């Protein structure tokens, strides 16, 4: 059974918050932190891949396809993943992604009559 889109959006928010928590404990030079962050980025990508594309188009500024492709790269080519790419995502992309997903969640609630 597939998870509802709203649950997947909440999964993304939770993964971002957990990444922030991991980074408060150390940086990506710590292998354990790097691995934990990488797994959460995979979760974000998986949630994006499972979310209805018609919902995602409501936030066109977010590179949804690139997020899904990054998930595939992290999951299948982990030995080829450059730390600087992960760092760049954390520094530049997670904040806007969190804002966009929270906006989608708010819109989802009002669209369903909640």
Q: What is the pLDDT of residue 65?
A: 94
Kindly write down the DSSP assignment for every residue of 2-71, as one continuous string: PPPHHHHHHHHHHHHHHHHHHHHH--TTSHHHHHHHHHHHHHHHHHHHHS-HHHHTTSTTS-HHHHHHHH
The tokens for 72 are: 């595939």
Tell me the pTM: 0.90
Per residue in 76-113, pLDDT (tens digit) is 876 777 788 899 999 999 999 999 999 999 987 666 55
The tokens for 61 are: 């500024």
């Amino acid at each position: 059974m597939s998870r509802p889109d709203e649950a997947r959006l909440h999964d993304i928010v939770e993964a971002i918050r957990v990444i922030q928590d991991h980074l408060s404990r150390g940086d990506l030079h710590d292998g354990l932190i790097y691995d934990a962050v990488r797994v959460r980025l995979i979760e974000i990508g998986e949630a994006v891949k499972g979310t209805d594309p018609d919902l995602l188009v409501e936030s066109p500024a977010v590179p949804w396809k690139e997020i899904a492709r990054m998930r595939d790269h992290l999951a299948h080519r982990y030995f080829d993943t450059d730390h600087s790419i992960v760092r760049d995502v954390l520094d530049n992309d997670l904040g806007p992604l969190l804002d966009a997903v929270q906006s989608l969640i708010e819109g989802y609630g009002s669209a369903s009559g909640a």
